[in-house]
Structure 1
């Protein structure tokens, strides 16, 4: 009888429910036969969210430079975030990134080849062309950031265009490819978005479609409201249904440096 009371749903399940209620424990109840596909889908959804919560407890975010000046929305109480959510948010100077770039220099050729294979690369960025150096510099930045994140066991990172130092360009392709690998990202020092994106990617692992950082601005209201993604440089390839296109462009805003970036013709919804 003890075994039956513990394992039979008519007794054990109800006793567990009573115990959880008595202890005021938050829980999610799924009822049904374990071979029922709907039950399996519901349990899988719960398990993915639970995994996201678990990853949140040890999420570590690296901030290269500070947040964008005069933009309060990208700031926040990092101590409270660690207390309530488990996120650890650490700031680093660009000198730390430069050292990581030097240490990972041997990875650059492999990254260049990967970009040429994965992207529809414009003629000016091809080997031997006038702007190929921009693609190489992008690969150097990517190698450095990845090396830094792996060494520090980081889950997410941020950059800001107002603090580039001696970086030859904005980290565009680097951010795209790192997001595709599962890292969270936030532009202009937005560590909250970076951590949230990482958790969403954990929850959606092996699911159809993808998740990406993007900053939206709604410019037109009314019957034909229009919404434009401003940070088109930093979009994860996981949300596209077509091969991304990489072109050479002048640097962002006041920067005159060339940068390699990409955009997509169609999203996966």
Structure 2
């Protein structure tokens, strides 16, 4: 696990975009894993700027979303496919038809989950997966207590998660769907490169647990310690509780430029 501590959110966004761009430079048809939430937004904006400047093209790429609400109308602005369309697809040159998410409107949700797993496998797996982390250590919608070997499945959203997400639904908790489809922890671990972005003091405890704590279902993100290629991109506030933060700074500052992410 490589922990990279950067001065501010803009530098984190630049680094996240560079990690993705390096994969696309090696493989123009790279398979991307997309996360929603506030943390990845600066990464998506930077990718959009690189595409606009002609420095990068995602035209041959395919992409898979981490999760989706169950039962939310297809045209609802807070459906995760709509969010990704707004915050990522419209900024870059990827073909919208090549961006896929779990089908939260499927009649048979279990079958939809199996089909999504198969679609990822048929694409050859995810080359680089962008992740955020919840303040309680969840990744995607894998809340504390989730199996560390789980696959794409239906999950019930906790009251806390629905309260946190109510801000996207006019402050109405009851408007937040009670269920979602999410890639499992085991599914996420199959991506070849995981890039996790965390910003702000509110993520500091979760970051400390996922980087330096025990591997435990209490903090599902801690399982990333077992993956062979993980990049954790942090601003100073998110890194503030790390005991070895000086070591992480030293090793990154001495890293040969040719290694990349």
TM-score for the superposition, normalised by structure 1: 0.29
Higher relative contact order (CA 8 A, sep 6+): 2
Give the helix-richer structure, 1 or 2.
Answer: 1
State which structure, 1 or 2, has the greater radius of gyration over its C-alpha atoms. 1
